[in-house]
Amino acid sequence: MDIEHTLSELTLEEKVGLLSGVDFWHTKAIPRLNIPALRMSDGPNGIRGSRLFNGVPAACFPCGTALGATWDTALLRTAGEMMGREAIAKCVSIVLGPTINIQRTPLGGRGFESYSEDPVLSGDLAAALVVGIQSTGVIAAIKHFVCNDQEEKRQRSNSIITARALREVYLMPFQIAEKKAKPKAYMTAYNKVNGVHASENTQLLRDILRGEWKFDGLVLSDWYGTYSVAEALSAGLDIEMPGPSRWRGSLAQLSVSSGKITESVIDDRVRAVLRTIDRVAPLGIKDFASEGTIDNPETEAKLRDIAVSSIVLLKNSGKVLPLSEHKTTAVIGPNAMLAAYSGGGSAQLRPHRAVSPFEGIRARAKSVRYAQGATNYKKLPMLSNITFIHPNNTPGMEMRVYHDPPSVQNRRLVEAFNITDSSCFLNDYTHPTLHTNLFYVEVEGMLMPEADSVYLFSLTVNGTAKLYVNGKLVVDNETKQQPGDSFFGSGTAEEIGSMALHKGEEYKILVQFATAPTSKVRKTGATQMGLGGLQIGGCPVTDAESLLFDAVNLAKEVDQVIVCIGLNSEWESEGWDRQNMDLPPGSNALVNAIAEVNPNLVVINQSGTPVTMPWVRNVPAILQAWYGGNETGNAIADVLFGHANPGGKLPLSWPIRVQDNPAFVNTQLEDGNVTYGEGIYVGYRWYDKIDREILFPFGHGLSYTEFQMSQLSVEAYAPVSAKVSGNVANIGHRSGSEVVQVYLCFPTSMVPRPVKELKAFTKLLVASGETEKFEIELDLKYACSYWSELANAWVLEKGTYHVLVGSSSQKITLAGTFDVAVTSTWTGI
């Protein structure tokens, strides 16, 4: 379009209307000027579409940390292309991802969404994904800019950080992505940075992003992450999301008429919106179009490949792995039957399918038996897992929506539909006849117990609700409510009730729910949602001792045992941080008990961030499988039985205890402040600097074969670049992949520096008995510079730099040097 002509045709009211959403996922259309709406969607591990609740099925990719564990830029570019095509199928123009905040602590609730503790690994992988997405014509909105590294009171927390740490660690992934991929959109963080909210921070948005880096795309807020009118507009926040607007509309018009801002500021924001509309126009997406998806064997196979590439072989004593498909096998553990495909929050979506570890293993092995061994739910499992809809007996529950509460006789039904998941976040639910945030819902299902048992039932809500079993009130989460961490921190704690049920009898479960405006809970600093939601849990009471006893007896009877443990979307989620690094109660005891009775044991851990492993010396083999997306179980089975050779590497350090983490004493809010006291010493930089023992180092990952690096050559073309080259030989009996990791050390620097820092990497596939050559070019500005607060610029120091090449941060096998002759300074990208 002719942007300046279009701008001149817009009224002030129309201009302001373009600067916020009209609903949860769309911007405003202005038909008279042929300005279409833009549809946005999460996100970091798949394209959900325009419905968080009961959405269209989608391809779910492995979580961010799993993608980080691939260390494979080519693979992430392919993943980005797949995401772009899925976005087009869902009529989405802007993908809200990737997430590349630094994992400064294992306890961050959204750590699983991000790639790494290291800015170079994060930036290079993010750049590859962005290139892939944007090659399809879809725009990637890289997030969260910047320092949104924990969830506790995220909207009021203030990240206190030095300029050097901000530049070298937290901004660097974004800077690398901007240099290599030029994402066309950025999403701002919820938090403050050095006293000013990111969404109205002129240093971040105007001076650095648009000034130094010359970014010319769209800046949008995180959902409900706008906190002002004039300040956010002046700083450069183009779009407030979601809609309807709380801060723009008539308030923005008043800011112009009162002189708090000029109309030229509004025009600048509108230009960014119009440029974005122009950029996605070739997609031909129609306003509010219906959504599709891409579900075919090719997508399924590629998702499986990506999940396989992410799995890290942490330990393999005595070469227990790979297992034999022909031996008797026990699959034990609370994660065995659970397809932990994603963490919780806005990263979640409705997958085409979700394969559990047990399903994947059973499809490979000849003789497989199962025992639960322990539970790992934080809240009760979803009641929809064990209910059915009467009279057609389909799995799930029926949901009915009303304008009026149950007390109104003959109240009018808005609509009724079936749900298969009784975790219902309703914030983007819409219906043409609903015009307020207050409405009422009934959820009903039938339950027929397989044995006499006491059943537990629960309600967790952002709103109010009661649960009835055959007309008897069993759970009341209305009369009295306790604050909790549900629904992005704005919901209640779980309320639990119980009732004895009898085998073979039918029981009607009815939940009556009223939306968020009825809630009695208000939590400072939490993201307040418009409609809220409810989670309905239920399961029979279990006995921990019996579960463990049955599992141990099974382990004694088989040739080999696979124990599946870890976390899930209840333990790692947007909206709250983990309280500790421990596994759910019962998991450690289960592993120790099985290890005592069967030495042919493999432990599979699924989590997005590190967990404690007090049993690590007692078990011979450990696989870290993350949250693997749709194909989680199949990918695990491929590696377990040797159909694939594990090639993943840890994208973060794995501490022995949470107390060892550099940010341990600097994560709690003190008068709203979070002090980044560790400075630039994040992750492995900290463990190296203080010589702290660690469980598994950054970059670690074993293989079913062996590699040998040799013949390192370093050629410097100072002050521009240096070329690092050498050979990787596969001296084992299987083809496999190895990651060449290049670190730099500069011991004579004028400022304190880490012992070594990752500066480049490449992943090579090497056939058995073969040798592959690697060549890696270092941009010396990025590889050698530090940020000087005094000069307010990057400083590339003269001196001798040591090149350290290896297969992890603690397994360095080759070393060389190069010289920089003259000190220089620079800014920009």
pLDDT per residue as tens digits for the range 95-149:
999 999 999 999 999 999 999 999 999 999 999 999 999 999 999 999 999 999 9
pLDDT per residue as tens digits for the range 153-191:
999 999 999 999 999 999 999 999 999 999 999 999 999
Choose one of 540, 575, 592: the last residue of a domain: 540
What is the identity of the amino acid at 237? L
Provide the domain count of the chain. Answer: 3
pLDDT-above-70 percentage for the chain: 99
The verdict on 612 and 526 lying in the same domain is: no
The verdict on 402 and 520 lying in the same domain is: yes
The verdict on 591 and 657 lying in the same domain is: yes
Residue 222 is a catalytic residue: yes
pLDDT confidence band for 53 (50 / 70 / 90): confident
Tell whether the model's pLDDT for residue 523 goes beyond 80: no
pLDDT per residue as tens digits for the range 366-375:
999 999 999 9
Q: Which two tokens stand for residue 222?
A: 């995180």
Q: Give a yes or no: residue 169 inside a domain.
A: no
pLDDT per residue as tens digits for the range 311-362:
999 999 999 999 999 999 999 999 999 999 999 998 989 999 999 999 999 9
> 163-168 — which CB contacts under 8 Å span 24+ positions?
163/787, 163/789, 163/792, 164/679, 164/680, 164/786, 164/787, 164/788, 164/789, 165/676, 165/679, 165/680, 166/193, 167/787, 167/794, 168/119, 168/680, 168/786, 168/787
How far the first Cα of the chain sits from its last, in Å, is 29
User: Is-contact 445 423, C-beta < 8 A?
Assistant: no
Domain that holds residue 585: 297-378+544-690
pLDDT confidence band for 525 (50 / 70 / 90): low
CATH number (domain holding residue 768): 2.60.40.10
pTM value is: 0.95
Choose one of 514, 540, 566: the last residue of a domain: 540
The verdict on 615 and 637 lying in the same domain is: yes
Q: Which two tokens stand for residue 76?
A: 């992430």
Mean pLDDT of 714-728: 94
Question: Could you tell me whether strands 328-332 and 367-371 are parallel, antiparallel, or unpaired per DSSP bridges?
Answer: parallel
Q: Give a yes or no: residue 717 inside a domain.
A: yes
State the pLDDT at residue 141: 98
Tell whether the model's pLDDT for residue 529 goes beyond 80: no
State the pLDDT at residue 118: 98
CA dist 147 and 182 (Å) reads 20
State the pLDDT at residue 524: 72
Average of per-residue pLDDT values in the chain: 96
Q: Give a yes or no: residue 782 inside a domain.
A: yes
User: Quick count: other Cβ atoms within 10 Å of Cβ 298?
Assistant: 9
Tell whether the model's pLDDT for residue 527 goes beyond 90: no
The verdict on 365 and 396 lying in the same domain is: no
Tell whether the model's pLDDT for residue 490 goes beyond 90: no
The verdict on 715 and 652 lying in the same domain is: no
Mean pLDDT of 434-441: 94
CA dist 631 and 356 (Å) reads 8
pLDDT per residue as tens digits for the range 88-103:
999 999 999 999 999 9
Choose one of 497, 523, 540: the last residue of a domain: 540
The verdict on 351 and 473 lying in the same domain is: no
pLDDT confidence band for 52 (50 / 70 / 90): confident
Mean pLDDT of 240-256: 95
User: Is-contact 754 786, C-beta < 8 A?
Assistant: no
Beta bridge partners of 440: 402, 514
pLDDT confidence band for 241 (50 / 70 / 90): very high
State the pLDDT at residue 526: 67
The verdict on 676 and 734 lying in the same domain is: no
The verdict on 396 and 374 lying in the same domain is: no
Which of 42, 222, 428, 688 is labelled catalytic? Answer: 222
pLDDT per residue as tens digits for the range 386-430:
999 998 899 999 999 999 999 999 999 999 999 999 999 998 898
CA dist 358 and 373 (Å) reads 14
